[in-house]
Homo-oligomer: A and B are copies of this chain.
Amino acid sequence: MQRIHFHEVVTRDGFQNEATFVPTDTKVVLIDALSRCGYAKIEVTSFTSAKAIPMLKDAEEVMGRIQRQPDVEYTVLVPNVRGAERALECRANEFNVVMSVSETHNLTNLRMTRAQSFASLRDVIAMAQQHVAINVSLSTSFGCPMEGVVPQDEVLRWADQFAALGVRGLTICDTTGMANPAQVARMARALKQRFPTLQLTLHFHNTRGMGLANVLTAVQEGIDRFDGSLGGLGGCPYAPGASGNICSEDAIHMLSEMGYDTGIDLPRLLDVARRMPAIVGHEVSGQLAKAGLCTDLHPAPSM
């Protein structure tokens, strides 16, 4: 059974898109429950400014209160050197630094040119990588909602620049759900060939319904790490009403049914996933929590 590693991003990427603040107690209880499900990594929070993302203003408190499990890496998003200093004090296992491959998206989302973002992240990496593993997430790697096509060579060019800095891992992100399986297969092959020693993760969104087909294709091409968000939380401002990140439990269930070893205790994860509508105050897009496992049989009605 081939092992596939899952990273849970709901408390960072998922909650960041929610309108109503999720209480710190709820976040801590949720992360502690997720820590017992078998994830390889949990992206706990972001060390950004409280003004920019009020949802994650409790980053220090959450990091201080969660009960860490030895087999789980606790990763955090770090936008700049100030964030890196805060995150180091909180003993994160990994820093996730982010920029967009699309210039327009980077300007819109981070208010910097890509060159400015790279310079800033290079400073973070130089300051932090003797203390902590560094992962680089490249947003809009499969398309930009404003620029349209993002050439694969441009993704690889930015990946090269970070690889040269000695980072541990790369996450290639389909930020707004534009990737199709043929494109994913080409990207996965190029990444595996070019970065054989880096930890490679794919981050898909289900905005146009292709998320799990993209996961399947990437697995077929030898990728073994994926981000997912419980319940499929984490929308996109360009697609109101559409799905967000791929739903962790749906993706894990698919691979598990196919015979892959995801390391996840699926019934336990499903128990946690079923709390999500109450936590965020609305229905979520994940299917498995509504449908149940394939092995949850129904009684035949009496005739």
Contact = CB atoms under 8 A, between A and B. Distances in A.
A181 B216 contact: yes
Nearest to A212: B213
Nearest to A147: B297
Interface string A212-239: 1101110000000000000000001011
Contact of A239 (B206, B239, B291, B299): B291
A7 interface: no
Given A207-B291, A292-B239, A297 B148 contact: yes
Interface stretch (A62-70, A74-82, A246-254): A246-254
A181 B257 CA distance: 9
A98 B236 CA distance: 41
Copies of this protein in the complex: 2
B108 A145 contact: no
A258 B301 CA distance: 43
B243 A287 contact: yes
A301 B148 contact: no
Contacts of A287: 177, 206-209, 242-243
A288 B213 contact: no
A247 to B, nearest CB: 6
Kindly state the interface size class of chain A when it binds its partner.
Answer: 35 or more
Interface string A236-275: 1011111100010011011001110000000000000000
Interface string A265-303: 000000000000000000100111011101101111101
19 contacts: A104-B300, A143-B294, A145-B298, A146-B297, A148-B294, A148-B295, A177-B291, A182-B259, A208-B253, A208-B288, A209-B212, A209-B253, A209-B254, A210-B257, A212-B213, A213-B213, A213-B215, A216-B217, A239-B291
